[in-house]
Structure 1
Amino acid sequence: MPFARPVRPARPAVLLLAGVLLLAGCGSPGSSGSSGSTGSSGSTGKGGAAGHPVRLDNCGQEVEVDSPPRRAVSLNQGTTEIMLSLGLADRMVGTATWTDPVAEGLEKANAKVKRLADNAPSFETVLDTEPDFVAASFASTLGKGGVAPREQFDKLGVPTYLSPSDCVGKDNSGDGDGVRTEPLTMDAVYGEVRDLAQVFGVQERGERLVAGLKSRVTGATAGLDARGVTLMYWFANSQSPYLAGCCGAPGIVTDALGAKNAFDDTKEEWPQVNWETVADRDPDLLVIGDLTRKEQTAETAAKKIEFLESNPVTKNMTAVKKKRYVLLSGQAMNPTVRTVEGIEKVAAALRSHGLAG
Structure 2
Amino acid sequence: MPFARPARPTALLLCGAVLLTGCAAADPPDAKSAKTAVTLENCGRTVRVDSPPRRAVALNQGAAEIMLSLGLADRMAGTATWTDPVLKGLEKANAQVPRIADNSPSFERVLDADPDFVAASFESTLGKGGVATREQFGKLGVPAYVAPSDCAGKDNTGDGDGAREKPLGIDAVYTEIHDLARIFDVEDRGDELVTELERRMDEATSGIDASGVSLLFWFANAESPYMAGCCGAPGIMTRALGARNVFDDTHEEWPQINWETVADRDPDVLVVGDLTRKSQTAESAKRKIAFLESDPVTRNMTAVRKKRYVLLSGQALNPTLRTVEGVERVAAALREFGLAG
| TM-score, normalising length: structure 2 | 0.91
Q: 1:326 and 1:72 mapped to 2: Cα distance?
A: 34
**CA-CA distance at 1:2 after TM superposition:** 5.0
Match among 243, 252, 267 for residue 268 of structure 1: 252
**Structure 1 counterpart of 2:124:** 140
Q: Distance in 1 between matches of 2:208 and 2:224?
A: 33
Is 1:331 aligned with 2:315? yes
Deviation at 1:189, TM superposition (A): 0.3
SS in structure 1 of the partner of residue 62 of structure 2: helix
180, 183, 186: which is aligned to 1:196? 180
Runs of at least 4 residues off by over 4 Å: none
Structure 2 unmatched runs, 5+: 4-31
Separation of aligned partners in 2, 1:329 and 1:336: 11
How far is the alpha carbon of 1:267 from its aligned partner? 0.2
AA of the residue aligned to 1:191? T
**Structure 1 unaligned regions, length at least 5:** 4-46
Secondary structure at 1:305 match in 2: helix
Cα contact 1:235–1:242 (8 A) shared by 2: yes
Kindly report which structure 2 residues correspond to 1:63-82, keeping only aligned pairs within 5 A, or say none. 63-82=47-66
Give the equivalent residue in structure 1 for 2:264.
280
1:49 matches 2:34: yes
Residues 208-233 of structure 1: CA deviation (Å, up to 9, x unaligned): 00000000001111111100000000
What residue number does 1:350 align with?
334
Q: Distance in 1 between matches of 2:337 and 2:107?
A: 47
Answer yes or no: is the 8 Å Cα contact 1:2–1:97 preserved in 2: no
1:255 pairs with one of 227, 232, 239 = 239
Deviation per CA, 1:53-104, whole angstroms, max 9, x where unpaired? 0001110111110000000000000000000000000000100000000001
1:166 correspondence with 2:150: yes
Distance 1:105 1:271 in 2: 33
Aligned to 1:61: 45
Aligned equivalents of 2:198, 2:155: Cα separation in 1: 27
1:126 corresponds, among 86, 107, 110, to 110
Would you say the 8 A contact 1:92–1:113 is kept in 2?
A: yes
> Contact conserved, 1:244 with 1:263, CA < 8 A, in 2?
yes
Number of residue-to-residue matches in the alignment: 313
RMSD: 0.8
Identity across aligned pairs (percent)?
A: 73
Q: Residue type of the partner of 1:114?
A: P
- 1: CA distance, partners of 2:75 / 2:333: 38
The answer to whether structure 1 residue 292 and structure 2 residue 270 are counterparts is no
How many angstroms does 1:49 deviate by? 2.7
- Structure 2 residue aligned with 1:217: 201
Name the counterpart of 1:315: 299
SS at match of 2:263: helix
Tell me if the contact between 1:2 and 1:140 (Cα under 8 Å) persists in the aligned partners: no
AA matched with 1:189: V
Indicate if the aligned counterparts of 2:119 and 2:144 stay in contact, CA closer than 8 A.
Answer: yes
Q: Report if the CA contact (8 A) 2:2-2:219 is conserved.
A: no
Matched, 1:155 2:139: yes
Q: What TM-score do you get using the length of structure 1 for normalisation?
A: 0.87
Compute the displacement of 1:112 (Å). 0.4
CA distances 1:10-29 after superposition (whole Å, capped 9, x unpaired): xxxxxxxxxxxxxxxxxxxx
Q: CA deviation at 1:168?
A: 1.0
Letter in 1 for 2:231: C
SS of structure 1 residue aligned to 2:100: strand
In 1, Cα distance between equivalents of 2:246 and 2:228? 9
> Could you report, residue by residue, the CA deviation over 1:175-223 in whole angstroms, capped at 9, with x for unpaired residues?
0000001110001000000000000000000000000000000111111
Supply the distance in 2 between the matched residues of 1:145 and 1:158 (Cα, whole angstroms).
19
- Give a deviation string over 1:120-175, Cα, whole Å, max 9, x none: 11100111111000000011110111100110000001001000000110000000
Match of 1:21 in 2: none
Corresponding residue for residue 110 of structure 1 = 94
Deviations 1:238-283 (A, max 9, x none): 0010000000000001111010000000000000000000000000
Query: Which amino acid in structure 1 is aligned with residue 96 of structure 2?
Result: K
Cα pair 1:49 1:68 within 8 Å, conserved: no
Matched letter for residue 303 of structure 1: R
Q: What residue number does 1:101 align with?
A: 85
Amino acid of the residue matched to residue 214 of structure 1?
E
3-state DSSP of counterpart to 1:141: helix
